[in-house]
Amino acid sequence: MPLVRSLSVTSLNGLSLWEEENLPVDDLLLFEISWEVTNKVGGIYTVIQTKAKITADEWGENYVLIGPYYEHHVKTQVEVFEPNNLAIKKTMDFLRYQGFRVCFGRWLIEGNPYVLLFDIGSAAWNLDRWKGEFWDACNIGIPHYDGEASDAVIFGSLTALFLKELVDQLPDKPNIIAHFHEWQAGIGLILSRIRKYPIATIFTTHATLLGRYLCAGNTDFYNQLDKFDVDKEAGERQIYHRYCMERASAHCAHVFTTVSAITAVEVENMIKKKPDVVTPNGLNIKKFSAMHEFQNLHALYKSRIQEFIRGHFYGHLDFNLEKTLFFFTAGRYEFTNKGADLLIEALSRLNFLLRVQKCDVTVVVFFIMPAKTHNFNVETLKGQAVRKQLWDTAHLIKEKFGKRLYEALLKGETPDMTKFLDRDDLTIMKRAIYATQRQTLPPVTTHNMLDDSKDPILSTIRRIGLFNNRADRVKIVFHPEFLSSTSPLLPMDYEEFVRGCHLGVFPSYYEPWGYTPAECTVMGIPSVTTNLSGFGCFMQEHVADPTAYGIYIVDRRFRSLEESCNQLTQFLFGFCKQSRRQRIIQRNRTERLSELLDWRYLTRYYKHARHLVLCKAFPEKFQMEPVAPPLRKHGLDIRVKSFSDDHLLRPPLPNIKWCTIITLHLIQKEQAQF
């Protein structure tokens, strides 16, 4: 087995990064295990799905994703067939002989990776036995009332059983890397390590269980991070068994990784282990052939949002849609963690500033956060019906007017415009005008909420009084459902909606990574994030002046809540004062930062983790040797100082593929525009 050699690159924060040679993938098998393989629950699904192509391109037939079997997902997302790999097929046959349902095929996403899915229900009869074996192995008991943890025991036990049988089936014993994501998959890792299977294991935590609970409970999390009694806190929240599973997974793994620098600090205090590698999350970047194409998409989808606004605000449409900005926030409905409390307070202050300064700009803010609802709001549906009726009326009169004008011109007559509309036409138009009369204000929410009086967003809106009054320059639309192109209300997919907006606002208090602002960036839409999100920290580290490139970073770590709110308000107010030309320039700059978030670059952190785990698990076969000294020993600065857009993201030396820290500077002419 050849040695694994790596190039050591020292970053400015002292961490060592590696630019490695290719692994001998023909002699390796890589399994990536997650509860969200083909099963969309949260952000980990996006990580797995978007990274699949670049990983499958590198590993080919030797890369398999392992997840739970859900029939409704398999029917629409998986092409089922038997594996070509004889060892995997024999292992699956063994599991089937034991009475377990196992499915193999290709996941129908970009890259078409292999997937192996375990049916949890087919193995549920083993739950008590496997709970006992897990207790005997590591003294972690699973309470009967926690169905999710029980499913994790079944899934982990099946994973461990599969890996053991696979190792026994392989004649030449090639090295296996098993990469586990989050505590739901961690039991398979714990059992594999305790039973001493010859497998190299990686565990990635995307957020800590306890951290999420503590932040949602309005604690001063980051200032008290090293003072929490983690066992006591987990016990009080009745998640001690889950916490133990997460902590044991991190400590049992050969290599432990997390997704951002801010989460690395968190896990060191919550899980009591420092991560070996930080593996930032990326996206598959679709580059356009011309710079103006994504600007054209923005104009196209903005016009579709404007159509929704015409219906939603009918009767109160006394503001200019061409001078209306669309802001939005989206994500799980975690009112405090996602910063919805801070955003609504900042919107109240922004509304006051716009009114006092008599700005002609109107801001419509969308909250896209799924919550429990009864159905669509009748008033909202009526608004879209009224809009359509007005459109049909205008189209009918336009056709009649055009026909009469055409006939007059054919006769060589000078058109008499006063005769082109008869009394019936005027009656139809008057009826249409009366149909737009409205006795109520435009609704704040598009749906009837299940518990309207206790909903955090609606309660806060009532407190600050943002009810979409005519005088308000900030309007709010709460859409408590995921966006869909099949919706009768706002028929747009999420990506289309994002492209049509002007600014994404995500002032999160707890955000281990933050895919929503990252998605905005790759689509050329400026966004607001915080220095408590992994994405915000990543941009602060890699970009010299993030604000100039449309990444507004609110300081929520070293400022009080009041100061953070004022800073967010100023960011929003400053954006409102920009001219249309300035916003176009900023969108161009924002889109260029997408290179930083491309998996083609960020996957090297995962490659380093795999190199590292092979060296730790099989030290007699693999070594990691630096082949070049750090750049700073040659007096070179890793930072790329670029003074024109032509040199944006250009590496300092031709033999260095990519550097981890890139600073982007504006030319003086562009700075003057801001």
Q: What is the pLDDT of residues 22-49, one digit of tens each?
A: 678 888 999 999 999 999 888 899 999 9
Per-residue confidence band for 433, with pLDDT thresholds at 50, 70 and 90: confident
CATH class of the domain whose range is 4-278? alpha beta
Residue 627 neighbours by CB under 8 Å, 6+ apart? 5, 6, 7, 8
Q: 326-377+443-597: what fold? A: Rossmann fold (3.40.50)
Task: Identify the residue with better confidence: 540 or 14.
Answer: 540
Mean pLDDT for all residues in the chain: 86
Task: Identify the residue with better confidence: 432 or 132.
Answer: 132
CA-based nearest residue to 329, from 338, 320, 337: 338
Task: Identify the residue with better confidence: 357 or 404.
Answer: 357
The DSSP secondary structure of 233-251, one letter per residue, reads HHHHTT-HHHHHHHHHHHH
Per-residue confidence band for 559, with pLDDT thresholds at 50, 70 and 90: very high
| Angle between helices 147-169 and 127-138 in degrees, nearest 10 | 80
Supply the pLDDT for residue 10. Answer: 34
CA-based nearest residue to 162, from 138, 133, 192, 190: 192
Q: How many CB atoms lie within 10 A of CB 13?
A: 9
Supply the pLDDT for residue 51. Answer: 94
Supply the pLDDT for residue 648. Answer: 32
CA-based nearest residue to 88, from 117, 110, 120, 68: 117
Q: How many CA atoms lie within 13 A of 639 on its CB side?
A: 12
Supply the pLDDT for residue 173. Answer: 66
Supply the pLDDT for residue 114. Answer: 97
Give, as one character, the DSSP assignment of residue 580.
H
For 586-635, what is each residue's pLDDT tens digit? Answer: 999 999 898 899 999 899 999 999 999 999 999 988 887 654 333 333 33
The phi, psi pair for 179, rounded to 5°, reads -105, 115
Residues 649-667: what's their mean pLDDT?
32
CA-based nearest residue to 59, from 109, 107, 23: 23
